[in-house]
């Protein structure tokens, strides 16, 4: 298959990781970059090749560009994706898919109406550890699953008082937007859809308007109960532990490490028996080869008409859970989500 010619918009650290990953698949050919900062565009063109476009509009006007990568601020996903669709371009967009559910659904409708691929970057489910965890769950190794606990946080430093990442207008959920969609998608992948959400948000740690931390409790459609704790003001942590009647599985850093614990009687555990044992993990890693897999699939969907594993529907599902968490904190009650049977 002929490689897909793609361009990228305003790549910073994560955008460069996408370009590194794209280099590793023959299905993609980097053609150019547009950025609000010319020096950034020049540096990307120097390091990765491709041409520099003077504007996003000029990039979209190039008929040789087939697809656009959007590692851009959340509030730009919707207008930039819609402009790309209008120009007949396929879109690979960072999480969250958009700021609002309405925007995300409009993006989905427009891409489908025009027969264009819309893929959302949720690489957490693509790692070797996540794939192995899914297989162990599906094989019944954990027995009946009872509960799940996810903890995800990272210190986020503002670049200025106007940094968009700390604005409630642009990032209304704070870490629920910055981090939450990753685990919402991973938990959906492993445990199925979430039906009920109840949460609390804390916004008094920093002087910025976006929330600083949040905790959400879930009831999955399967009956499993879970909790998600997130922050953007303290130390880094990324872990999901799934408890079943036959044992527990802990997934660290989206599958970079995997640990198993047998069901151990209390007295034996207190005596030092049982404990966590590492499980060897092979396959894609979160910020490298999992990205290559996602981008390779994106290009193959463009060429074959296949559906992306993480498309608009999955992006919307993850966003819907995090918006429900924010809504629950604001109105003080449980939010029930519609779940397709």
pTM: 0.96
* pLDDT of 265: 87
* pLDDT of 339: 81
Residues 6+ apart with CB under 8 A from 284: 123, 126, 127, 128, 131, 290, 292, 293
In which element (H, E) is residue 209 found?
A: none
* pLDDT of 116: 98
Q: Check if the beta carbon of residue 315 is closer than 8 Å to that of residue 97.
A: yes
Calpha distance 46→39 (Å, rounded): 10
Nearest to 60 by CA among 87, 41, 33, 93: 87
Q: What is the pLDDT along the chain (341 residues), one digit of tens a residue?
A: 999 999 999 999 999 999 999 999 999 999 999 999 999 999 999 999 999 999 999 999 999 999 999 999 999 999 999 999 999 999 999 999 999 999 999 999 999 999 999 999 999 999 999 999 999 999 999 999 999 999 999 999 887 777 899 999 999 999 999 999 999 999 999 999 999 999 999 999 999 999 999 999 999 999 999 999 999 999 999 999 999 999 999 999 999 999 999 998 888 888 888 899 999 999 999 999 999 999 999 999 999 999 999 999 999 999 999 999 999 999 999 999 998 64
Residues 6+ apart with CB under 8 A from 114: 85, 88
| CATH 3.40.50.720 placement within the chain | 4-124+288-310
Calpha distance 52→58 (Å, rounded): 10
| CATH 3.30.360.10 placement within the chain | 125-284+319-336
Q: DSSP letter string over 159-178? A: SSTT-GGG-TTT-TTTHHHH
* pLDDT of 184: 98
What fold, for 125-284+319-336?
A: Dihydrodipicolinate Reductase; domain 2 (3.30.360)
* pLDDT of 193: 97
The SS3 of residue 230 is strand
Read off φ and ψ for residue 187, nearest 5 degrees.
-65, -40
Class of domain 4-124+288-310 as given by CATH:
alpha beta
Q: Check if the beta carbon of residue 167 is closer than 8 Å to that of residue 244.
A: no
């Amino acid at each position: 298959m002929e490689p897909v010619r793609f361009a990228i918009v305003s790549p910073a650290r994560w955008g460069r990781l996408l370009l590194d990953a794209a280099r590793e698949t023959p299905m993609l050919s980097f053609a150019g970059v547009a950025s609000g900062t010319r020096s950034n565009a020049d540096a990307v063109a120097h390091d990765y090749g491709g041409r520099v476009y003077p504007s996003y509009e000029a990039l979209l006007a190039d008929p040789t560009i087939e697809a656009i990568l959007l590692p851009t601020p959340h509030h730009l996903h919707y207008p930039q994706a819609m402009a790309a669709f209008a120009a007949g371009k396929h879109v690979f967009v960072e999480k969250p898919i958009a700021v609002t559910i309405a925007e995300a659904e409009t993006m989905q409708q427009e891409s489908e109406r025009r027969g264009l691929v819309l893929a959302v970057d949720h690489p957490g489910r693509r790692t070797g550890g996540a794939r192995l965890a899914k297989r162990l769950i599906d094989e019944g190794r954990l027995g009946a699953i009872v509960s799940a606990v996810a903890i995800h946080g990272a210190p986020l430093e503002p670049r200025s008082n106007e940094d968009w990442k700390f604005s409630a207008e642009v990032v209304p959920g704070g870490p629920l937007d910055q981090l939450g969609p990753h685990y919402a998608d991973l938990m959906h992948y492993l445990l199925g859809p979430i039906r009920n959400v109840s949460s609390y948000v804390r916004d008094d740690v920093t002087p910025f308007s976006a929330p600083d931390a949040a905790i959400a409790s879930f009831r999955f459609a399967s009956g499993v109960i879970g909790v998600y704790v997130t922050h953007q003001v303290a130390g880094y942590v990324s872990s999901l532990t799934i408890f079943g009647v036959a044992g527990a599985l802990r997934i660290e850093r989206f599958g970079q490490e995997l640990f198993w614990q047998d069901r151990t009687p209390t007295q034996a555990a207190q005596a030092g028996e049982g404990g966590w044992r590492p499980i060897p993990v092979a396959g894609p890693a979160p910020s490298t080869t999992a990205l290559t897999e996602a981008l390779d699939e994106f290009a193959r969907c463009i060429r074959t008409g296949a559906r992306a594993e993480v498309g608009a529907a999955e992006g919307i599902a993850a966003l819907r859970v995090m918006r429900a968490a924010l809504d629950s904190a604001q109105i003080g009650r449980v939010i029930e989500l519609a779940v397709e049977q």
